[in-house]
Structure 1
Amino acid sequence: MLQTVPEAALSYSAFQRAEIGAAVSAVARQWRRMGSDFDSSYARIEPALLAVLFTAQERVADGALGYVPDVLGDAAPEPVYASAGSRFVGVAGDGLPVASLAYGAVIQAKAAVAQGMDVAVALARGGQHLTLASGTLLSDTGRAAEKVSGGAHRLKKWTRMLNPPSCGRCVILAGKTFWQSEAFDRHPGCDCRNVPSTEDTGDDARTDPKAYLDSLSEAEQDRILGSKANGQAFRDGADMNQLINAYRKAGAVRPAQIHGQHIKYTTEGTTRRGHAYWQMQQAQYIKEQGVTRNGSKYRQLKAPRLMPETIYSTAKDPADAKRLLKLYGWIV
């Protein structure tokens, strides 16, 4: 069973969301003061903008440092070292200065103008870059402080918790347990949190991917899984990991035309180690093709792995759709 999320973890998550949201809003207000002369107007707003980010970093880090002993409660050992939120200020998750990260918004705006966009559109693009980068920066700051506090309290493992609303890539990682020494797997804008793994009792939608998806409306399921057809496939029994992972590599989902019919397919899962490979191999019309890579034989299926969108459009009836979903490896 997955770990029950402690009340302290839920309170901390709400606190971090509020802090990060307020900081991102303040950053956006500063960016709206930008003018057509990007460099001079940025020089004017930079002190206030960085002050917002530095203050938020310290507050988020302080909250994270206090979170670990709070969630451990009476079981918390004496820390082997102390830290402070101020030590996390001024540096981004990649080790570069926060000032460089913030100036990236100006670079984005200049690049947009170079592509022929007008100033207003260019500034909007720069603002989007800045708010996304700021949210990611502060989430990274919190997670870094969590890890430092975890080390001080000799934690060995963490459980990943969603901070809804969440994307598909995060949903399928919910509830995963990883070691203190492992890096947190995240994408830009990710705001998932860590929960110290001290016990394995019960479950919670924030650490149970299927429970989280089941709790959502059909429209939200469709959004997270990538399309209405994917959402329907999930409700018909398809594995959410298969559906979400179909998109994990750029260009894996492709359109094509076969015998005058438009289809959508994915290359994900069609190599010899993929689940779809073994499911599809059951059909007699599917054959392997051999490709030599690095001196070794690489096996892949010739037939395309149809996406649920194409399956539902070609199936004779619901029963046939489920048969095809299983054949193409969506229902495990």
Structure 2
Amino acid sequence: MSTADVVQAASRHKENTEKLTEAAFERAGRAWKRVNPGAIVSSWQILSAGVIGAVMLAQTETIENSNDYIDFAFNDQNIDGLDAKLRPGAIVGTMPATGATLDAALAGVAYHALDHIGRGRSVREAMDGGMLDLAQLVQYAVADSSRASAKVRMGTTTTTSVGYTRVVSAGCCARCAVLAGRFYRWNDGFLRHPNCLCLHFPATSAVAAQTATDPYEAFDALSEAEQDRIYTKAGAEAIRNGADMNQVINSRRGMTTSGRFTSEGTTKSGYFRISSEAGRAGKRRLSVDELMRRAGNDKSRFVSLLTEYGYFV
């Protein structure tokens, strides 16, 4: 077996978890559509009983799948661990991240809908909001069951330097691209945004290093149109002109509502403040979008501004 085999196993486990989540939500969504708008709480209390069973089934199956997948990953990398697996009954029927029971969490969906109506929302808007709440609840209930199972297994390893490595997929978002191959401690893991294409799998730090990919190579492999879509037109143009990818991507994290400025790197010890001409002069850091707007069609001016505002490292 190889690292590629483990990545494929991680991908299959992610796909299986998503399918189980979709099946549970399909049952939940059908039930929510049958709720009586004139008796939201009482009718949902009856209808949600079947939903609880569907979510519990999905939780049980994803825990079993998680155990099988981690067995595969451990065996492939000769990772030693105690023969300790999460007993599904310990968390099935709960929200693993909080410990709340599923019935209490599901009841909250109905009460939230009533709160929306009480605040002036239409019944239709409140019910639509309830459907969104329900989708998120089901996703967390199933996904967190898998994560809880993984944490138990990872916590019993006797091999040193075991954690998770992040594997990105082609076409992933800009923030994820720069994190390819990042190693996380066994009790850390990483957050995913909605529709994230990344995978993480149990690995030693040595294996994690093998999965690391060069984000610039991934960028260059994209068409210019795809670069513009993923990294934004201004961001992609900055990277194509040699700007540091991390500085460009991270700058969007602190952008003001107007899009003209960013707070990224502007603390006293921040890179912009101590390493750039504009930062040392006490100026506010302009965003890449604003620099492109000011440069117009003058590429050399754009590069000069990128340099002045600390986007080259």
Q: Give TM-score scaled by structure 1 length.
A: 0.76
Kindly provide the amino acid, as one letter, of the partner of residue 321 in structure 1: F
Structure 2's unaligned 5+ residue stretches are none
* 1:170-181 aligned within 5 A: 170-180=176-186
Aligned to 2:141: 137
Kindly provide the amino acid, as one letter, of the partner of residue 42 in structure 2: S
**Aligned residue among 66, 79, 103 for 2:107:** 103
Offset at 1:69? 1.1
- Kindly report the root-mean-square deviation, in angstroms, between the aligned alpha carbons of the 2 structures: 3.2
* 1:196-235 aligned within 5 A: 196-198=202-204, 199-200=206-207, 202-203=210-211, 221-222=227-228, 224-225=230-231, 227-235=232-240
- Distance in 2 of aligned mates of 1:27 and 1:215: 41
- Distance in 2 of aligned mates of 1:329 and 1:184: 31
Aligned to 1:88: 91
- Whether 1:242 aligns to 2:247 is yes
Offset at 1:269? 1.1
Aligned to 1:287: 281
Aligned to 1:27: 28
Offset at 1:58? 0.9
Offset at 1:145? 0.7
Aligned to 1:300: none
- Distance in 2 of aligned mates of 1:136 and 1:167: 22
SS at match of 1:195: strand
Aligned to 1:322: 303
SS at match of 2:260: strand
Offset at 1:49? 1.4
- Distance in 2 of aligned mates of 1:314 and 1:49: 55
Identical columns (%): 27
- Whether 1:308 aligns to 2:304 is no
Aligned to 1:184: 189
Deviates more, 1:134-143 or 1:26-35: 26-35
- Distance in 2 of aligned mates of 1:254 and 1:183: 32
SS at match of 2:86: coil
Offset at 1:123? 1.0
- Distance in 1 of aligned mates of 2:65 and 2:263: 43
Of Structure 1 and Structure 2, the greater strand share is in 1
**Aligned residue among 136, 161, 164 for 2:167:** 161
1:39-78 CA distance string (max 9 Å, x none): 1221122101111211111111111111111123352546
Kindly provide the amino acid, as one letter, of the partner of residue 278 in structure 1: I
Q: Compared with structure 1, are the counterparts of its residues 81 and 202 closer, same or farther at alpha carbon in structure 2 (3 Å cutoff)?
A: closer
Aligned to 1:296: none
Contact 1:136-1:188 at 8 Å conserved across structures: no
Offset at 1:154? 3.3
- Distance in 1 of aligned mates of 2:183 and 2:129: 37
- Distance in 2 of aligned mates of 1:108 and 1:313: 44
SS at match of 1:197: strand
- Distance in 2 of aligned mates of 1:86 and 1:190: 29
Offset at 1:148? 1.3
Deviates more, 1:146-155 or 1:135-144: 146-155
- Distance in 1 of aligned mates of 2:7 and 2:113: 43
- Distance in 2 of aligned mates of 1:244 and 1:23: 36
Aligned to 2:271: 275
Q: Compared with structure 1, are the counterparts of its residues 274 and 145 closer, same or farther at alpha carbon in structure 2 (3 Å cutoff)?
A: same
Contact 2:182-2:212 at 8 Å conserved across structures: no
**Aligned residue among 244, 265, 273 for 2:261:** 265
- Distance in 2 of aligned mates of 1:26 and 1:179: 36
Of Structure 1 and Structure 2, the greater helix share is in 2
- Distance in 2 of aligned mates of 1:107 and 1:220: 43
SS at match of 1:6: helix
- Distance in 2 of aligned mates of 1:33 and 1:212: 47
Q: Compared with structure 1, are the counterparts of its residues 104 and 169 closer, same or farther at alpha carbon in structure 2 (3 Å cutoff)?
A: farther
